[in-house]
Chain A
Amino acid sequence: MNSQLVYKKAYWMAGDVWVLIVRSIKHIYKNYDQLLGLTIQPIMFMLLFRYVFGGAIVVDTGTYVNFLMAGILVQGLAFGSLTTSFSIATDLQRGIIDRLKTLPIASWAVMMGHVTGDLVRNGLQAFILISMGILVGFQPTASALEWIVIAVLIVLFTLAISWIAAIMGLLAKTIESVSWLGFLVIFPLSFASSAFVPTETMPAPLRVFAENQPFTHVIEAIRALTLNRPVGNHLWMALVWCFGIILVSIPIAGYLFRRHGGR
């Protein structure tokens, strides 16, 4: 293959991915009740923990809301990323996938579109959540550089969960089953973590799990960065987990996608 052809192919592929990203971004605002739901739910959680449970929880971060912010944010991002499984399952069950697959394009571009759509939606959601947090007393002390690191973490974590969500969307037999499948995965990971309470009070086996699973590392890294505390190994562990998940789940999702429909 000569270099000009390679160049042309790459150009087309990038164009295809872009067209499908635009499609997914359009879904965000055309389906704004979904965005609304995805944003309101973590806000409700934040108010619940801030005002109802917060008083009874002892933390070492000054106020509880300072502790809570990172947990709420990561849980919100994780549930937000599940939209990918929903979008992919919808594409598969409703049939538009057949049309997209008969186009002369790389078929994984469709998944790229949805995952990137999640990224945009989660970015928006993170901004709204942090602003709400500040309204109810969250006092971040992060420097500009630390905010950039937080943003990178948000992006990587979203990508990691979105690709897992893509796999769930591909495995789901119906659109309805997608929501409980996602719930089954995200619920334990986000509650058996340091999102809402310190892990010290958990029984030993649970504590071992909670302290070593990816959500806790991402939460602890963001928490330390926002509050100007030592990050320890959490940042590195968070990055390793996110990259690891992304590297493993993309080829699996690609394989499942090609196999879909009995090929």
Chain B
Amino acid sequence: MLSTQENAIIIEDLKKSFKNLEVLKGVDLTVRRGNILALLGPNGAGKTTIIRILSTLLHPDNGNVFVNGFDIKTQPQEVRRSIGLTGQFADVDEYLTGLENLLMMGKLYHLSRSVITRRTEELLKKFDLTEAARRPVKTYSGGMRRKLDLAASLIAYPPIVFLDEPTSSLDPRSRLNVWETIKKLLNDGVTVLLTTQHLEEADFLADTIAVINDGRIIAEDTPGRLKSRVGKERLELVIKRQDDFERAVTVITGNDLSHNSAEKTVSLAIENGVNEIQGVLNQLAESGIEVDTLTLRKPTLDDVFMHFTGLKPDEGRNEAA
């Protein structure tokens, strides 16, 4: 038996079917208190189904699930008091203003008036929504809605937060902005379970990544280790002149070096991010070697899938269907 003291979320042998469609085929997962776990998987893998079961919106067919130490089957009200949910599609009231949405949530959580006022102001500020607070949500951009949605799920200081694809349909800038706010959450010691289809997002946010495909967890590890199991980021440099290329091969040091003389390319694995890239570029500059183009190839969700399933994500799904 796992400890509910240490683990905010415990899922054991969770199964769920819709009619004849077996969506979850035995999921085991634990999240330690104060950690962020990212559930990474393609469309239809069962991510939303897990979140809905954890937040008492759906009954499981089989398995034990404990959230904050409470059994979702026998203590749903206690579970609801422990969680904040941000669903896959923005769950806010379109006609109300951002401020009215937050105040309403605060009241429905039975917070005292002074706490509601303080918390609302704090969250609006944190999520950069103070200016838009008195406008109807109808007029918000997708990113603003998402942020309001996040704020609404945090109003009652829940110890556990579920985020279902928190940055889907956001442009890169808003995505970064939402990531930063989620990161800040962690400073408050909140336990987070988030789902995503982007390895990059899981990598940036999570302590642990669980890869889900076709209703089963097929890998679970820290982002670093998971990526190194899949393959590292690679820096690819195309050198301008042939004589420079020959010198470059001797100058550049790094892991997993390879070069191609005909195309004048040098590539190497990057383990320490920007610093390492900077280092390589400095080495080249000091030797007066001119670089033509530079590309950074990251392992993608596809790479992770192919690694763990031997299939492309689409193939996995077709087979399941």
Q: Identify the A interface with B (CB < 8 A).
A: 12, 15-16, 19-20, 23, 26-27, 30-31, 94-96, 98-105, 261-263
| B residues with CB within 8 A of A | 18, 52, 55-59, 77, 80-81, 83, 85, 87-96, 100, 104-105, 107-110, 136, 152-153
B18 cross-chain contacts in A, Cβ below 8 A? 262
Instruction: From the candidates A19, A30, A100, A105, name the one contacting B95 in the complex (CB within 8 A).
Output: A30
Query: In the complex, what distance in Å separates the CA atom of A101 from the CA atom of B76?
Result: 11
Q: Is the pair A102, B80 in contact by a Cβ cutoff of 8 Å?
A: yes
Q: Which of B81, B92, B108 contacts A19 (CB under 8 A)? A: B108
Nearest Cβ on chain B to A210's Cβ, whole angstroms: 39
The residue of chain B having its C-beta at the shortest distance from the C-beta of A8 within the complex is: B110
In the complex, A108 Cα to B108 Cα: how many Å? 13
Minimum CB–CB distance for A214 against chain B, Å: 32
Q: Which residue of B91, B94, B107 contacts A98 across the interface (Cβ within 8 Å)?
A: B91
Q: Which residue of B lies closest to A262 (CB)?
A: B58
* Measured CA separation A47–B277 after assembly (Å): 78
> Are A261's CB and B95's CB within 8 A?
no
Residues of chain B lying within 8 A (CB to CB) of residue A103:
80, 105, 108-109
Of A23, A95, A102, chain B has the most CB atoms within 10 Å of the CB of: A102
* Distance of A111 from chain B, by nearest CB (Å): 15
Cβ of B110 and Cβ of A102 under 8 Å apart? no
Collect the chain A residues with CB atoms within 8 Å of residue B108's CB.
16, 19-20, 100, 103, 105
Return chain B residues, CB-CB under 8 Å to A95.
Answer: 87-91
Q: Min CB distance, B68 to chain A, in Å?
A: 13
Q: Across the interface, do A23 and B58 meet the contact criterion of CB distance under 8 Å?
A: no
- Since A30-B96, A262-B58 are in contact, a sample of 16 more A-B pairs with Cβ atoms closer than 8 Å, ordered by chain A residue number, is A15-B107, A15-B110, A95-B88, A96-B93, A98-B91, A99-B91, A99-B153, A101-B57, A102-B57, A102-B83, A104-B80, A104-B109, A104-B110, A261-B58, A263-B57, A263-B58
Shortest beta-carbon distance, B47 to chain A, in Å? 15
The CA-CA distance from A16 to B109 in the complex, in Å, is 9
A-B contact pairs, 28 of them (CB 8 A): A19-B104, A20-B108, A26-B100, A94-B89, A94-B91, A95-B87, A95-B88, A95-B89, A95-B90, A96-B93, A98-B55, A98-B57, A98-B85, A99-B85, A99-B87, A100-B108, A102-B85, A103-B80, A103-B108, A104-B81, A104-B110, A105-B108, A261-B52, A261-B57, A262-B18, A262-B59, A263-B57, A263-B58
Asked if residues A26 and B96 are in contact (CB atoms below 8 Å), the reply is yes
Alpha-carbon distance A253/B94, docked complex (angstroms): 24
Given the complex of chains A and B, what is the CA–CA distance between A105 and B56 in angstroms? Answer: 13
Residues of B close to A23: CB separation below 8 A: 93, 96, 104
| CB atoms of B90 and A102 under 8 A apart | no
Known contacts A26-B95, A26-B96, A30-B95; decide if A102 and B89 are in contact (CB<8 Å): no
Residues of chain A within 8 A of B105, CB atoms compared: 99, 103
Distance to closest chain A CB from B127 (angstroms): 16
Closest CB in chain A relative to B268 CB, distance in Å: 46
Cβ–Cβ contact B89 & A104, under 8 A = no
CB distance from A90 to the nearest CB of B (A): 8
In the A-B complex, the 5 residue pairs with the closest CB atoms = A99-B91, A30-B95, A104-B80, A95-B91, A95-B89
Given contacts A94-B94, A263-B57, whether A19 and B107 have CB atoms under 8 Å apart is yes
| CB-contact partner of B87 in A12, A30, A98, under 8 A | A98
Asked if A96 contacts B91 (CB within 8 A), the reply is yes
Nearest opposing residue in chain A for B18, CB measure:
A262
Chain B residues in 8 Å Cβ range of A102: 55-57, 80, 83, 85
* A262 to B16 Cα, complex, angstroms: 11
Interface pair A27/B95, CB less than 8 Å apart: yes
Inter-chain contacts of B136 with A (CB < 8 A): 30
How many Å from the CB of A118 to the closest CB on chain B?
Answer: 15
A262 to B23, CA, bound (A): 13
B109 nearest in chain A by CB position: A103
Smallest beta-carbon distance A193→chain B, Å: 34
